[in-house]
Structure 1
Amino acid sequence: MIVFHTILNNIFLGNIKNKKKKFLKNYISYNYNNFNYFNAKKVIINLFLIKKEIKNILLNKKKILFVSTKNFLREIVYKYARSLEQNYICNKWIGGILTNTKNYKKILNNSITLKKKRDMNFTKKEKNLFLKKEKKIEILYGGLKQMSSIPDLIIITDIKKEKIAINEAKRLKIKILALVDSDDNISGIDYIVPCNNNSINCVKIIFKILFSEVC
């Protein structure tokens, strides 16, 4: 019983009940202590349908972009994006990453130039400056080095936090998969995983289910 309640709270607990926002009313099973709880059966069925879609995407050599700028989720996203050899943004979304790809590619090329300069005849102070700039570029754009074209799917862990990324993906008609809470507006989201996306354990479990057969 204790284990069941732990899983329940990790995955199926939604936000505080909000009568005005009913975007996920079909997934909410009941309300307890003023918190929404998702219908476990519906969530799990949906999760495994999405898992099948992801498997097809990867089997067809299509590309995924992971987006999660929440600090506590960074290592999880790094782990799966790198294991799958996919692209990722885990620090800050810079406007235009999808709609103006020339900009980030130019910046990544600049990083290569800076690296070369560190092996040339510059002062120690100048080399440290080059290194600092190179590290900044790596933090912001390092996960995009292999992204030669726009992705086929973008995976979001929080649609409230990644609004700019979602707007760019919608403009380019890129499929969006999102972990959503009970008060999230899911309009325009192609694949939803209703869950407690503020729980690191929840996201670990969700990702393990989605990618267990392909990592």
Structure 2
Amino acid sequence: MEIKELVKAGVHFGHLTRKWNPNMSPYIYSEKNGIHIINLYKTIQKLEESCSALEKIASSGRKILFVATKKQAKDIVSKYAEEVTMPYITERWPGGMLTNFITIRKAVKKMSAIDRSKQDGTFESLSKKEKLSVDRTRAKLEKNLGSINSMTRLPGAIFVVDIRREHIAVREAIKLNIPIFAMVDTNTDPRLVDFGIPANDDASKSIEIILNKVTSSIKAGLDQRNKEKAEEKAKTDKEDIKEKD
């Protein structure tokens, strides 16, 4: 990742100086026209640290939950999270998503049960009114939880685009000691997260360049895991053949 790429994407633009959080001072390079400018050398350093840690988490088989409900981040986050088969929340954060995960998981299972009823014919035995009610329930669950249906246990980490907006998600993760990775703009408190990447969390190009780099590292971790599993299987198959001989 080069400085000029980050500049082109506007990663260096922070918020108005009067809206700053003093805890971001180590990551601020200067101010221009009343706006703080982020130190992109720090951005690269923190991005590399984050990517290294995320790669390890992905290679361990744990899920990384992406959280971004702001308009300009939704499509970007869903696109990149889907590319690496990771769960994501881009609609309203369901309260208790992490701290009351058992209940959330039950709702996801309910969605799966509805799908099964449509496949095995049970759905067809319902009245027209009941079908309509079930379809509405399914649509609501899909909108809020469809993107996390692969998450069978608490994630190994969460990645947040805007920690001020997603403060409930951050609070729940802190409570459960789930590592938090996040883009931290000049109006945020980086002390709330484990891995903060100083960056403009409002511009779509800035969000995209960070997500692209982050998910590339996650993919590398997944590839490493798949390689190790394939090698282990080959070894087991070889031992089985020897035993038969």
Q: TM-score, normalised by structure 1?
A: 0.91
Match for 2:109: what amino acid?
N
- Number of the residue aligned with 2:18: 18
Classify 1:113/1:61 alpha carbon distance in 2 versus 1 (closer, same or farther; 3 Å).
closer
Residue aligned with 2:22, SS = coil
Higher Cα Rg: structure 1 or 2?
2
Residue aligned with 1:208, SS = helix
Query: What is the rounded CA distance, in whole Å, between the counterparts of 1:200 and 1:65 in structure 2?
Result: 20
- Number of the residue aligned with 1:43: 43
Residue aligned with 1:178, SS = strand
Query: What is the rounded CA distance, in whole Å, between the counterparts of 1:19 and 1:136 in structure 2?
Result: 37
Q: What's the CA shift for 1:156?
A: 0.5
CA distances 1:70-92 after superposition (whole Å, capped 9, x unpaired):
12211211122222121111101
1:132-151 alignment runs, 5 A limit: 132-151=136-155
Match for 1:189: what amino acid?
V
Alignment partner of 1:128 is 2:139: no
Alignment partner of 1:71 is 2:71: yes
Segment of structure 1 superposing worse, 169-178 or 116-125: 116-125
Classify 1:32/1:177 alpha carbon distance in 2 versus 1 (closer, same or farther; 3 Å).
same
Contact 2:81/2:215 (8 A) holds in 1: no
Query: What is the rounded CA distance, in whole Å, between the counterparts of 2:83 and 2:163 in structure 1?
Result: 24
Match for 1:177: what amino acid?
F
CA distances 1:93-150 after superposition (whole Å, capped 9, x unpaired):
1111111112112112222333316732223343232112101101111122121211
Q: What's the CA shift for 1:181?
A: 0.8
Query: What is the rounded CA distance, in whole Å, between the counterparts of 1:31 and 1:174 in structure 2?
Result: 34
Residue aligned with 1:11, SS = coil
Q: What's the CA shift for 1:38?
A: 0.8
Classify 1:125/1:212 alpha carbon distance in 2 versus 1 (closer, same or farther; 3 Å).
same
- Number of the residue aligned with 2:170: 166
State the identity %. Answer: 29
Contact 1:12/1:196 (8 A) holds in 2: yes
Residue aligned with 1:192, SS = strand
Match for 2:33: what amino acid?
N
Match for 1:129: what amino acid?
S
Aligned positions, number: 213
- Alignment gaps of 5+ in structure 1: none
Classify 1:212/1:112 alpha carbon distance in 2 versus 1 (closer, same or farther; 3 Å).
closer
Segment of structure 1 superposing worse, 125-134 or 192-201: 125-134
Q: TM-score, normalised by structure 2?
A: 0.80
Q: What's the CA shift for 1:192?
A: 0.5
